[in-house]
Amino acid sequence: MAPSLPVADCHNDLLLGVLHQRERGLSDPFGDFWLPQLRAGGVVLQVLPVFTEEQHVGEGALRRSLQVLEEARRLADVHATDVVICQRGDQILPAIQSGRIALVLALEGCEPIGHSLELLDTFHRLGVRIASMTWNRRTMMADGVGEQDAGGRLTKLGLEAVAEMERLGMIVDVSHLSETGFWHLTSVATRPFVASHSSCRALQAHPRNLTDEQIRAVADSGGFVAINGFGPFLSDAATVDSFLAHVSHAVSLVGAERVALGLDFMRDLVDAVDPVLGGALVDSDALPWVEGLERPTDLAALAVRLSEVLGPQVSRRVCAGTIVETLARQLDSEPPGVSMSDRES
């Protein structure tokens, strides 16, 4: 199906897939496998997170994250006519208008930072523009949703990290942050923050989902909530209609200008990253995928369904307008403490 609407996706771990595929000898997995999917789905902006796998937690996290970021630079160089890494907001619209896919780099969890706060500046210089302090696990900055029972607020380092991210102009991402940590963040944040891939707890009581109050808090900050398409976050027997219900609920709470897409496609990633999980011991077909929400090519049909449910104007904003406009605005504003050399690089 030809793309009916431009789509901006706030979360796709494809960089990890590209790295694993190249480690197994594929010369251009992005060009051969991932780029055609993004094009078929109508993707015009893609946020690319850098995730720390369990085996690299600790001192190995920094080295592994640098390898993943190098994959981003490599694929952007090889496919410069199709994609461009955007480090400033004023680069996003020109990239899209030129027919290229705007790529924005992110950290999914600050495991690579550890306790060395100065590395936030290093990652900013490497092009990272969005960062979450945690994944599901605990870091030195905060607790993830997997540590909810600990009741932890942000640590002193976490509070310093929020201030440093805001100084650098790096957008704080609250997806995966524990609820207690979330509310602590809202009390200290002075710039907009986002939820890159979270759904609605009112519709599915999963700890990875946000309550209505949390969704409103993200919107009130000037950020957005990008709805996740992973089955267990949507319903016990999820379908595309389940996803549409989460989008509709969020729009009813805060308006389309604060709602976006963060699909978190994992079907192909599982096969690329873990060949054991992807077939040797586990049948990946038996995992809780949502038919029609499995990979970027599905975005073209999803955009049609969104238009049917929300109408063309609202769906156009949710599909791309919210993310494109918010990132163009937030990454364009010059925070204090950033030098002109950084702005010109």
- Regarding pTM above 0.85, the answer is yes
The pLDDT assigned to 235 comes to 95
Q: How far apart are CA 39 and CA 299, in angstroms?
A: 10
Cα–chain center distance at 279: 27
List the domain boundaries for the chain: 7-334
Q: Is the dihedral of CA 142, 202, 4, 300 positive or negative?
A: positive
Token pair 């919210």 is found at 322
| Count of CB atoms situated within 10 Å of the CB of 3 | 19
The pLDDT assigned to 256 comes to 97
User: What does the pLDDT average to over 66-76?
Assistant: 96
**Which has more pLDDT, 139 or 81?**
81
The answer to which of 142-156, 191-205, 214-228, 236-250 has the lowest mean pLDDT is 142-156
Q: What is the mean pLDDT of the chain?
A: 90
User: What does the pLDDT average to over 85-93?
Assistant: 96
The pLDDT assigned to 342 comes to 46
Say whether domain 7-334 belongs to CATH 3.20.20.140: yes
User: What does the pLDDT average to over 169-197?
Assistant: 96
97-151 pLDDT, tens digit per residue, is: 999 999 999 999 999 999 999 999 999 999 999 999 898 878 889 888 877 767 6
Tokens of 111: 């495991």
Task: Identify the DSSP state of 138.
Answer: B
The pLDDT assigned to 345 comes to 39
